[in-house]
Structure 1
Amino acid sequence: MANYQDKNWQDSMRIKLDYNNMMSFITGEEHGLNKEQVEAMADQIKTAHKQVFEKTGKGNDFLGFLDLPEREKAEVERIKEVAKKLSDSTDRFISLGIGGSYLGVKALFDALKSPYHNELSREKRDNKPKVYFEGNNLDSDSMNHLFDLLPSSPSDKIEDKFSVVVISKSGGTVETALSFRLFQEKAKEFYGEDHNQYIVAITDESKGKLKAIADIEKYQSFVIPDDVGGRYSVLTPVGLLPAAIMGIDIDQLLAGAAYMKTICESEDWQNNPASMYALLQYLSYKQGRNLSAMAAWSKGMESLGFWYDQLCAESLGKDGQGRVPFTIVNNRDLHSRGQELQDGERNTVVTNLFIEKPNRDITFQKNQEDLDALNYLEGKTVKSMQVGALEGTNYAYAKDKRPTMNILFPELNEFTLGQFFYMLEVATVMEGYLNNINPLDQPGVEAYKKFMFANLGREDMILKFF
């Protein structure tokens, strides 16, 4: 039995929400939330919870993400089979996508793989390919730099071979579609008639431009479910196939999400981390804190913050309301954003993402000369220093009556990440329902696309908007 299937191990890996520093007994009555305020919201948070899990709230036809931990199990074996074929036969993997078709995958890669993954030998990469992300911008310099890494002529060497996964529900998103056409041409030049063995499409089940291309070219394809929006799709093939190609354990990822699903389904709202996170952010927003910083206390977690930026902004930023999320990395940004958060306007809630046990630690050793005067740190680990930094930062904020929360990861692994994704997806929808908005559409994003298409000369849009 794998460790992630053991209940005791699962419980030891449960992520925790610590919100003491949001409360008035720490941050004072003027700036903190008191017990009475929170308890007065009991009926509203219970209603929001019911709207989510009974699928009766606004946008409920896009609540399919709730069932993904169990539903995607049927597809996992095919995903792993295709992933193995690509990772065994190619040494460069290119993931094309934007928004939800990119950010979740990038978050998984950055959190679970070495930051120097592409510089390692294939053996030290566990025989997995180097990983590249494109199709998320209109940036010719970036694409050309990646083209420079691809072979200029056919070769049988594995180090020259590359694979492409293109992710787009419609196939009409210009950033991804344009990139795909260019990388598809590169694949055809290199592989010839066999190029379809090295390209996989993740798209709609039956319609759209990418689906049509996949059918014509006979690409392997996987389905983005109709009832799952892009920013909620990390636990569909959108996230699972690229993750499996990278060597990430997708069974454990789904197991973590399933574990958190059970916790989030609980009607005991005060012990439900999704309910409490939604409620505390909602109440803080109503008190004028319209900015929310996600502070990643690990470089590898920065992309988790970027993933949440999209989830929060695209779900809650509408109808003239919504808090503005942004991501920082500490200790790095204590030397920049830290000044603003400590001494600027009182308009921000900080959520710390903190790993309690690193995969590898470093113990500081004594140096005979001690020219840098650091021998007082002898015997301390880098992690213990980071704990001191977190505690010191939270204390400084609390002393000045500035609210913070901690999301604590016992370790950073697939199981804890599965929990994190699921918890914040549920919390975001609940917060939207507390604000009486539809957290599952994105009219503002659609507006920019239409005007951009018109500006680029697409005739149907020119006629409509000019």
Structure 2
Amino acid sequence: LVTSIGAINCDLSQQAARLGFHQALRVPGNLQDGFDLLTPTGLLSSAFLGLDCIQLLVGAAAINENFRNEPFSTNLVLRFVASSLQRHHLFAWWARSLAAFTPWMATFQSHTNAADLAAVTERDRVFEQIEEGALDPRDLVCNHIHVDDIRTDPLVIQPRHAGPFAADDQSADANPTQQARTVGEIQDRVAVAAGQKLSNIGIRQNKIVLPVIDTHSLGQFIQLMMLSAVVRPAMRGADHFPR
């Protein structure tokens, strides 16, 4: 089995057809860079990974339906774009497995900063750039990406001072910051603290919450990002837009 993947009537598909291999996956020729993620090119690699490609498309279709038919007050794409018209976009991937989206988004959103503000070293680096004047907070927007129901291993972090007699130390119970906490609880506290610091220096923030990490939710997120990238230049150039 030989299947060509490319634009309609591209040289590869024509050569394959002459050899008797007529099956082809068509990719619209006007799509560039990361916008081909939900085309046969991107879906084929997703299928090789065992993902449910149908649900990726169903999720994307739900965003399309919302974008076409909903007014501004309930239109996810328009509301996200209107709240993120700043020149540079930062992301904080609090669901760490989603951080892999960063290089993909950079392919079609040149204004996306590669820094991940959920990572302490990258967050500190951005703060240093702001303090040095290399970045203007007024030109920045940070999109926090959360997942409601996310799997975390039942790993409990003990206080740094914990020892064989820590259980008898009543003072540890009096200070909740010294009690054992799960990784998820620690991450939530860090997210709140990071958001407060961003707010203090005047950086606008958005919060996107996926219910779970599954192919349907990922399809929605992918389509939301791609449609926003297309709509944003038009809204940024408008004299006014709904708030």
Question: TM-score, with normalisation over the residues of structure 1?
Answer: 0.43
How far apart are the structure 2 equivalents of 1:370 and 1:294? 42
Residues 143-195 of structure 1 show CA distances to partners (whole Å, capped at 9, x for unaligned) of: xxxxxxxxxxxxxxxxxxxxxxxxxxxxxxxxxxxxxxxxxxxxxxxxxxxxx
The yes-or-no answer on 1:291 pairing with 2:85 is: no
Higher strand share: 2
Residue 325 of structure 1 corresponds to 112
Alignment of 1:20-35 (within 5 A): none
Q: Report the alpha carbon displacement of residue 218 of structure 1 after superposing the two structures with TM.
A: 5.3
Q: Report the alpha carbon displacement of residue 298 of structure 1 after superposing the two structures with TM.
A: 3.6
Residues 84-128 of structure 1 show CA distances to partners (whole Å, capped at 9, x for unaligned) of: xxxxxxxxxxxxxxxxxxxxxxxxxxxxxxxxxxxxxxxxxxxxx
Where does structure 2 lack aligned partners over 5 or more consecutive residues? Answer: 167-171, 239-243
Higher helix share: 1
The AA in structure 2 aligned to 1:327 is: A
Q: Report the alpha carbon displacement of residue 223 of structure 1 after superposing the two structures with TM.
A: 0.9
Q: Report the alpha carbon displacement of residue 232 of structure 1 after superposing the two structures with TM.
A: 2.2
Residue 458 of structure 1 corresponds to none
The yes-or-no answer on 1:245 pairing with 2:48 is: yes
- Aligned equivalent of 2:65, options 262, 265, 275: 262
Alignment of 1:148-227 (within 5 A): 197=1, 200-208=3-11, 210-215=12-17, 220-226=23-29
SS at match of 1:361: coil
The yes-or-no answer on 1:280 pairing with 2:69 is: no
Alignment of 1:346-361 (within 5 A): 346=137, 347-361=139-153
Question: Structure 1 residues 341, 243: CA separation in 2 closer, same or farther (over 3 Å shift)?
Answer: farther
How far apart are the structure 1 equivalents of 2:165 and 2:35? 51
Residues 191-215 of structure 1 show CA distances to partners (whole Å, capped at 9, x for unaligned) of: xxxxxx4x6431122123x324433
Alignment of 1:14-413 (within 5 A): 197=1, 200-208=3-11, 210-215=12-17, 220-226=23-29, 228-282=31-85, 284=86, 290-313=87-110, 324-329=111-116, 330-332=118-120, 333-340=122-129, 344=133, 345-346=136-137, 347-364=139-156, 366=158, 368-369=163-164, 376-378=178-180, 380-413=181-214
Question: Structure 1 residues 221, 370: CA separation in 2 closer, same or farther (over 3 Å shift)?
Answer: farther
SS at match of 2:149: coil
Residues 390-439 of structure 1 show CA distances to partners (whole Å, capped at 9, x for unaligned) of: 111111111222211121122221111100111122222221222459xx
The yes-or-no answer on 1:433 pairing with 2:229 is: no
How far apart are the structure 1 equivalents of 2:165 and 2:71? 55
Are 2:147 and 2:209, in contact at CA under 8 Å, matched by a contact in 1?
A: yes
Counting matched residue pairs gives 221
Where does structure 1 lack aligned partners over 5 or more consecutive residues? Answer: 1-196, 285-289, 314-323, 438-466
Question: Structure 1 residues 218, 362: CA separation in 2 closer, same or farther (over 3 Å shift)?
Answer: farther
How far apart are the structure 2 equivalents of 1:213 and 1:279? 46
Residue 424 of structure 1 corresponds to 225
Are 1:296 and 1:305, in contact at CA under 8 Å, matched by a contact in 2?
A: no
Identical-pair percentage? 18
How far apart are the structure 1 equivalents of 2:132 and 2:155? 34
Are 2:83 and 2:206, in contact at CA under 8 Å, matched by a contact in 1?
A: no
Are 1:361 and 1:383, in contact at CA under 8 Å, matched by a contact in 2?
A: no
SS at match of 1:206: coil
The AA in structure 2 aligned to 1:203 is: G
Question: Structure 1 residues 354, 227: CA separation in 2 closer, same or farther (over 3 Å shift)?
Answer: same
How far apart are the structure 2 equivalents of 1:277 and 1:293? 14
The AA in structure 2 aligned to 1:360 is: T
Alpha-carbon RMSD across the aligned residues, in angstroms, is: 3.0
Q: Report the alpha carbon displacement of residue 238 of structure 1 after superposing the two structures with TM.
A: 1.4
